[in-house]
Amino acid sequence: MNQSPRITGWGKYLPHKVLTNQDLEKLIDTSDEWITSRTGIKERRIASDEETASSLGVQAARKALEVAGLPASQLDLIIVATSTAERIFPACASVIQDQLGAKRAGAFDVNAACSGFIYSLATAYHFVLGGLYRNIIVVGSEVYSRIIDWHDRSTCVLFGDGAGAVLVQGMEGERPLVGFSLGSDGSKGEVLYAPGICGPIGNGAKSGHFLVMEGKEVFKAAANIMVASSRQALTQVGWTTGDVDLFIPHQANKRIIDMASKQLGVPQERVYLNLHRYGNTSSASIPIAVCEAVEEERLKPGDKLVMVGFGAGFSWGAMALEWQPYL
């Protein structure tokens, strides 16, 4: 049976605690003007002591299932994009599977940092296209506040916590028009990373478990890579940037987004931004933005949508599709 994958449900969850730029002024040598002018970020959400990537992800997944009207018992697969799971194993996806009560669903994590949601969504689409599964929940969930050095003003102002999820369902019909572009440059791995606990003895002793980033190197690469990846996805579906109704980039830095959209020729009114509210939530940023774009009626049935992410690895991914959520 030919199956046409559609995103039929979406949901998000943000922790209640808000950390503003003014709050950061009391912690480190910075200012609201400095942060805003360089990043576009005004505030971010911070997980409580009890919250984890899985607990945030469960809330987002439940909302996505509610929108679609699908009980968790009908899920075939759960894919979670995260680089801040609370345990090495079991997978964050397995914890979410248990909490949802999705007893017959397989579950696994994808760690491609800020590009993880696009990697996970591409995986879900191809499982559906191959006829293997019909109902797949894709979650992006992060608690970057746990791996941030709050004395490092170059990184602590950038990141926040949150989760977003979409439900991908296989419906009878023709293969959808969808384009993907996934890539990686592992030679740039030292530019943006977080040390693990299983590396060579002594490795990472200086930074502990905190995220390490060479901001200038990331900034120089990000816009160009996002542009190239977006163009590759557009080429697969035969669209030009002029056809794009909404461009949802990874919400990392407004200057990077402005550079990328300008190079692509996508006007500002067709670019979705919410990083001023949440900062960089890594793999959660794109699904959170999708939810809010729908809520604000910025994303409507029939719209041509491009989503693109870029992050540590370096890794990147883009997806072009027509937004047709209804059965």
Q: Which residues are catalytic?
A: 114, 250, 280
| Distance (Å, whole) CA 293 – CA 287 | 10
φ/ψ of 7, rounded to 5, equals -85, 105
What is the crossing angle of helices 215-237 and 254-264, to 10°?
40
Contact 291, 234 (CB under 8 A): no
DSSP string for 203-233: TTTTTTT--EE-HHHHHHHHHHHHHHHHHHH
Q: Return the number of other C-beta atoms located less than 10 Å from residue 51's C-beta.
A: 21
CA distances from 279 to 47, 89, 318 (A): 13, 28, 20
Q: What amino acid occupies position 25? A: E
Nearest in space to 155 (alpha carbons), one of 225, 252, 284, 276: 252
Tokens representing 33?
A: 């003007």
**Alpha carbon distance 48, 161 (integer Å):** 10
The strand pair at 135-143 and 77-81 is best described as: parallel
Strand positions, DSSP E, 243-302:
246-249
Q: Which of 144, 178, 173 is closest to 159 using CA atoms?
A: 144
Q: Identify whether the C-beta of residue 303 lies closer than 8 Å to the C-beta of residue 244.
A: no
CA 119 vs CA 67, 104, 283, 288: distances in Å: 23, 23, 10, 16
